[in-house]
Amino acid sequence: MTEKPQSPSKSVIQTSSPNSSENNEMVVTPWEVKGKVDYERLVREFGTQPLTEDLLKRVEKYTDKLHLQIERRIFFSHRGLDTVLDLYDEGIKFVLYTGRGPSGPVHIGHLVPWIFTLHLQQKFDTRLYFQMTDDEKFLVDDEATLNETRKYAYENALDLIALGFKPENTFIIYDVKDMDLLYDITLEVAKRITYSTARASFGFQDSTNIGWIYWPAIQAAPCFIHKKLTGENLPALIPAAIDQDPYWRVTRDIAEKLGYYKPAQIHCRFLPGLGAGGKMSASMPETSIFTMDQPDVVKKKIWNAFTGGKGTAAEQRKLGADPIVCSIFQYYFYLFEEDNTKLEERERRCRAGEMLCGECKNDIAAKLNKFLAEHQRKREKAKDVIDQYHIKR
Amino acid sequence: MTEKPQSPSKSVIQTSSPNSSENNEMVVTPWEVKGKVDYERLVREFGTQPLTEDLLKRVEKYTDKLHLQIERRIFFSHRGLDTVLDLYDEGIKFVLYTGRGPSGPVHIGHLVPWIFTLHLQQKFDTRLYFQMTDDEKFLVDDEATLNETRKYAYENALDLIALGFKPENTFIIYDVKDMDLLYDITLEVAKRITYSTARASFGFQDSTNIGWIYWPAIQAAPCFIHKKLTGENLPALIPAAIDQDPYWRVTRDIAEKLGYYKPAQIHCRFLPGLGAGGKMSASMPETSIFTMDQPDVVKKKIWNAFTGGKGTAAEQRKLGADPIVCSIFQYYFYLFEEDNTKLEERERRCRAGEMLCGECKNDIAAKLNKFLAEHQRKREKAKDVIDQYHIKR
């Protein structure tokens, strides 16, 4: 049994906060997120920058209106976004880069940064490189086979395409299949990362397999692939959940030595699961809504979800409920209520006891099922065009 | 500056023997060979098997006559050759696998195992996979660029083809260009090698780059590629210099877990350089005869070579010379005197003082230049057919 890399440094946070119970301990590594996530602490300990009002104004200049995910600080932190905007002001564009570890089916939480990425792509009219890390998921999970991770890479790509990305400027990189495009770049990167740097950044141990140790070079490569494919040297901007930050820190340290711009990141939070707290996890399927879930399954999961409600309807009408701890309210906040006024009204009615959890759950189940029916339809159509998103040789 | 991995274990031998002087210390790692090589000690400490009379008889059964390199114990040690012959007796063939680290031009010493490999291929009518490790040479040498190592991979392949290998059953793998064929196999291998195993086998240190750490998985992959390409599961037999042995030990440990036969090896000695002792080294060009050397350069190098001769002609006529320490005699022994009777007569005349070094040097220079003229001609022709040796997609 492979042990997960442990935390020897501040880059991989894995300690109890004083008041956390044993099983609510915060764990945030590129391979594992659990417990109650303290985002302010992540910004502090990872050493990233918060998204300031000033920076948001600069983004707004190019996007007309701030996307709700940035306005609501679902994207809340960055590295080097200011530099990318400086360059953009001077006429130097950027490419977008994000990805997915295809270890299972896609759930609603995975869609959050992809939706924001699509928004950036549309507003900045730029190219996206999307990495399917079928190799990584094979290396870090004892039980995974390459057949499985490659199958999920295909399945997950359908979900990406269903969101509306266009093949003219969206390039999906399947690591195993596309290593011919990445390999020389990974070598240039790997030569400049010593084992001690990798161990300090990712918590590798003696029992870590050598594939996992090499892998940071493979996650770095798409930052630099645009120049190889087009001859054009542009910085990459990476919208992704903050657990992936250690990769980019290492990559930023070597980018300029290789003649590239440092990749910039913009980091998002995790959509909480339907249980009490924590990231939505594919390993606890009852706490996540998967894109292929059928209406009755969605209703059942929503019905069983953790909320901020009281023990009885009478008590809740009298005392109101707490939307802050409610997993259902997060669904509105992250994705399903774009209108701030309506969101505030929902919050007010919840707190005042005017709306009980049943009504709120019925509303979100209907919204989810409407969204999923449309998504599933587009996802089916994606099967006909998926090859157009593959980089041509 | 990258430090070369040091020896933390018996698998990488790097210690002084009691009588060695500082600069004649034996160093044998996959990346560096220097000093006087004690082959009996390597067999003992690497834990390989000597080639026994019994085993040679079994080889002879299939090869009619033993090749001089095996008869003279230039190939002197093995791992699992007996098992490969057992399988062959039962009708299960094998594939050959060897390779080259393209860090510079090819010299005569590099040709020794290739000539023997060609002999095996012809006698056993089998396929050869030849790995050009342009990635490895880039990773282990601070100064190397990928352009250089890839250029030498091409140049070195011409030397291989010039020896007479046929494109129908000779497949040259250029790592960087052909990683698409190897990558899934390297992942299966890498997942089963922990960092502690790799460190113990290769002497990796904290300062070793992560590309170098992954690389053993890449050298393992061609052992298993035949099944992927043809569907046929056959063992690989690897003729190579003994410094590469640590790779195969690790590969043998995991082969069966992946559903393959353990690769077998047959290990050769290094053709000594023209200086006093040690391997012929590309980093000391005056001690090596390169395949592209011109006649006058060859004559000069041979003229300056270290021999077992005496200080004056008169002394040597009286006392004789010592062919055992003579670098020129090794050329006859390894490559240029196939007739044992003639070799013994040359040795006798040398010891008896009947033949002086000048005569012997003139003879070998003539033989070398005849061989090189022919080799260079064939090497030029190889440019027209080199693409036929590349694995088709």
Q: How confident is the model at residue A27 (pLDDT cuts 50, 70, 90)?
A: confident
pLDDT in tens, B201-212: 999 999 999 999
Q: How confident is the model at residue A181 (pLDDT cuts 50, 70, 90)?
A: very high
Q: Which helix (H) or strand (E) holds A361?
A: helix A357-385
When pLDDT is averaged across residues B66-70 and rounded to a whole number, the result is: 95
Q: How far is A32 from chain B (nearest CA, A)?
A: 19
> How many CB atoms are located within 10 Å of the residue B100 CB?
23
Percent of chain A beyond pLDDT 70? 92
**B205 with A187: Cβ contact below 8 A:** no
Judged on CB neighbours under 10 Å (0-12, 13-18, 19+), B118 is: buried
Distance CA B242, CA B77 (A): 8
In A, minimum Cα distance to B149 occurs at: A184
When pLDDT is averaged across residues A229-246 and rounded to a whole number, the result is: 94
In A, minimum Cα distance to B141 occurs at: A191
pLDDT in tens, A104-158: 999 999 999 999 999 999 999 999 999 999 999 999 999 999 999 999 999 999 9
Percent of chain A beyond pLDDT 90? 81
pTM of the model: 0.92
Q: Where are the beta strands (DSSP E) in A279-386?
A: none
- Quick check: B22 pLDDT over 90? no
pLDDT of residue A39: 86
pLDDT of residue A14: 39
Q: Which amino acid is at B213?
A: I
Radius of gyration of chain A (CA): 21
Q: For chain B, which residues lie within 8 Å of any Cβ of chain A, measuring from their own Cβ?
A: 135, 138-139, 146, 176-177, 179-180, 183-184, 186-188, 190-196, 198-199, 204-211, 213-214, 216-217
Half-sphere exposure of B237 (CA within 13 A, CB side): 27
Please spell the DSSP secondary structure of A367-382, one letter per residue: HHHHHHHHHHHHHHHH
When pLDDT is averaged across residues A61-80 and rounded to a whole number, the result is: 95
pLDDT in tens, B344-390: 999 999 999 999 999 999 999 999 999 999 999 999 999 999 999 99
**A138 with B186: Cβ contact below 8 A:** no
pLDDT of residue B45: 85
Q: What is the mean pLDDT of chain A?
A: 91
pLDDT of residue B280: 55
Q: Point out the residue among A187, A208, A213 whose CB comes nearest to the CB of B135.
A: A187
pLDDT in tens, B256-266: 999 999 999 99
Q: Where are the beta strands (DSSP E) in A135-188?
A: 170-174
pLDDT of residue B61: 94
Tokens of A107: 């759930």
**A179 with B183: Cβ contact below 8 A:** yes
pLDDT in tens, B89-140: 999 999 999 999 999 999 999 999 999 999 999 999 999 999 999 999 999 9
**Residue B106: which residues within 8 A CB-CB, separation 6 or more?**
B100, B155, B156, B159, B290, B291
**B213 with A210: Cβ contact below 8 A:** yes
Q: How far is B110 from chain A (nearest CA, A)?
A: 26
In B, minimum Cα distance to A258 occurs at: B145
3-state class (DSSP) for residue A56 = helix
- Best residue in A136, A189, A201, A210 to probe B by mutation, most B CBs within 10 Å? A210
- Quick check: A393 pLDDT over 60? yes
pLDDT of residue A24: 62
Q: How confident is the model at residue A17 (pLDDT cuts 50, 70, 90)?
A: very low
- Quick check: A18 pLDDT over 50? no
Q: Report helix, strand and coil shares of chain A as percent, to nearest 5.
A: 55, 10, 35
**A214 with B211: Cβ contact below 8 A:** yes
pLDDT of residue A3: 55
Q: What is the DSSP letter of B263?
A: P
Q: Which of A268-272, A281-285, B27-31, B183-187 has the lowest mean pLDDT?
A: A281-285
Nearest to B127 by CA among B81, B189, B68, B173: B173
Q: Where are the beta strands (DSSP E) in chain A?
A: 27-29, 32-34, 49-50, 75-79, 95-100, 128-132, 170-174, 236-241, 264-268
**B214 with A209: Cβ contact below 8 A:** no
pLDDT in tens, A286-337: 899 999 999 999 999 999 999 999 999 999 999 999 999 999 999 999 999 9
In B, minimum Cα distance to A143 occurs at: B191
Contacts of B179 in chain A (CB under 8 A): 179-180, 183
Max mean pLDDT range (A33-42, A369-378, B301-310): A369-378
Q: How far is B212 from chain A (nearest CA, A)?
A: 8
When pLDDT is averaged across residues A176-190 and rounded to a whole number, the result is: 98
Percent of chain B beyond pLDDT 70? 92
Tell me whether strands A75-79 and A49-50 are parallel, antiparallel or unpaired: antiparallel
